[in-house]
């Protein structure tokens, strides 16, 4: 009997095809699990809480949750923290998730990567490992992490992962402490043959503390970075063309949060995303399936007030405004984040979509 030949398709096409099929059924195809909020760094911009007395999930509890989310359809899993490698049972957790057939991405600062851990990851490779760097120089990196020697340890971890030819990429959070070194960081990644991405979206801590916000770059600097790279500028333009105009929806949540993605914190609470934590549901008291299909829809069904202007704003695709960010920044999920508004208007001006404001 002749077998039909296998047809190879690009990963992006595979991913898009899967997501398009599961969206209407609310299959939780993408999940994030924060193994711990603890970290061996003290980064000035971090949104995590490090002084919570609540007990972290045990390996047994995490294993049960992994069983439940896999059975519910989770295929893509992000393992993050805090610093997930601080968990002594990290490899046990990682291996358990890997055996469930999940496509795993790992976020780490790389300072705790050892030969043993890297060898294990080479034997059972993740889809991607993303390492955060915060400067092209020791001085800048450690001004942000607050830990002497962290730059050297980060580079050592990167080298260990590269030696195993693991699927590694670098990223940075852009702030006023490292803005002048962004291009040098990008070149550093390119010289190593690694992809590089940046993020300018610094938000308040999960307890509402706005201390991290003082490290934001200016809105004009955000746009400068947008257009410093042809690729980033094109991606922004294409995204804007696809989603230009108001949403026409009266729903408060208009993104994919809680539709096909979820977030689980170190203590077993599920939220629709890592930003929106005002409503959380214990997975120690309820099954994942019960929370996902019975409780999360209550969050997604929330309507916005008649004076909520974001859903009708034609620039919403350029700002990143969301209920979670509004809650953290303004203690009100429906109050716009002015910083994001300024970024959106400057992006629209740079794209030629609106006329520059006259002050």
Rounded CA Rg of the chain: 21
pLDDT value of residue 359? 43
By residue count, the chain amounts to 359
Q: List, in order, residues 6 or more apart from 280 with CB less than 8 Å away.
A: 265, 269, 270, 271
Residue 251 is classified by DSSP as B
What DSSP character marks residue 268? S
Is the Cβ–Cβ distance between 193 and 65 less than 8 Å?
Answer: no
The full set of domain ranges for the chain reads 11-228+255-302, 307-353
Task: Give, in order, the Cα–Cα distances in Å from 88 to each of 36, 83, 102, 112, 151.
Answer: 11, 11, 21, 11, 23
Output phi, psi for 214, to 5 deg.
-70, -10
Residue 267 is predicted with a pLDDT of 96
For residue 281, how far is the Cα from the chain centroid?
Answer: 20
Per-residue pLDDT of the chain (359 residues; tens, 9 = 90+): 566 676 677 888 888 888 888 877 899 999 999 999 999 999 999 999 877 778 999 999 999 999 999 999 999 999 999 999 999 999 999 999 999 999 999 999 999 999 999 999 999 999 999 999 999 999 999 999 999 999 999 999 999 999 999 999 999 999 999 999 999 999 999 999 999 999 999 999 998 899 999 999 999 999 999 999 888 888 888 888 777 777 778 888 888 889 999 999 999 999 999 999 989 999 999 999 999 999 999 999 999 888 888 888 888 888 888 899 999 999 999 999 999 999 999 999 998 888 776 54
**Assigned CATH for 11-228+255-302:** 3.20.20.70
The tally of CA atoms less than 13 A away on the side-chain side of residue 265 is: 24
What is the DSSP secondary-structure string of 48-106?
--S---SPPPPHHHHHHHHHHHHHTT--EEEEESS-GGGSTTHHHHHHHHHHTT-EEEE
Tell me the whole-structure pTM to 2 decimals.
0.93
pLDDT of 152? 98
DSSP H/E element including 236? helix 230-243
Of the candidates 341, 317, 314, the one whose C-alpha atom is nearest the C-alpha of residue 329 is: 341
Tokens read off for 12: 């992006």
């Amino acid at each position: 009997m002749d077998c039909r030949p296998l047809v190879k398709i690009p990963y992006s096409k595979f991913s898009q095809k899967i997501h398009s099929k599961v969206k209407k059924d609310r299959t939780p195809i993408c999940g994030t699990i924060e193994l711990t909020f603890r970290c061996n760094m003290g980064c000035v911009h971090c949104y995590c809480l490090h002084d919570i007395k609540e007990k972290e999930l045990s390996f047994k509890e995490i294993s049960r949750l992994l069983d439940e989310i896999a059975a519910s359809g989770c295929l893509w899993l992000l393992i993050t923290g805090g610093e997930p490698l601080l968990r002594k049972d990290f490899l046990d957790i990682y291996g358990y998730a890997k055996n469930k057939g999940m496509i795993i991405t790992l976020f780490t600062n790389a300072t705790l990567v050892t030969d043993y851990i890297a060898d294990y990851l080479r034997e059972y490779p993740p889809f991607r490992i993303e390492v955060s760097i915060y400067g092209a120089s020791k001085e800048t990196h450690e001004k942000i992490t607050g830990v002497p020697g962290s730059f050297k340890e980060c580079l050592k971890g990167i080298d260990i992962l590269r030696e195993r030819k693991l699927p590694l990429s670098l990223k940075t959070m852009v702030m006023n402490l490292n803005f002048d070194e962004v291009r040098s960081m990008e070149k550093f990644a390119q010289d190593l043959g690694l992809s590089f991405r940046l993020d300018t979206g610094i938000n308040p801590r999960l307890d509402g503390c706005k201390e991290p916000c003082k490290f934001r770059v200016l809105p004009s600097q955000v746009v400068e970075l947008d257009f410093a790279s042809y690729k980033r500028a094109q991606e922004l333009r294409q995204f804007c063309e696809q989603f230009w105009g108001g949403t026409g929806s009266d729903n408060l949540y208009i993104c994919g949060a809680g539709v096909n993605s979820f977030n689980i914190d170190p203590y077993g609470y599920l939220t629709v995303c890592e930003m929106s934590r005002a409503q959380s549901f214990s997975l120690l008291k309820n099954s994942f399936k019960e929370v996902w299909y019975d409780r999360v829809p209550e969050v997604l069904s929330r309507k916005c007030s008649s004076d909520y202007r974001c859903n009708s704003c034609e620039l919403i695709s350029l700002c990143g405004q969301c209920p979670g960010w509004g809650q953290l920044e303004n203690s009100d999920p429906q109050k716009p984040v002015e910083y994001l508004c300024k970024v959106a208007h400057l992006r629209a001006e740079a794209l030629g979509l609106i006329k520059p404001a006259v002050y």
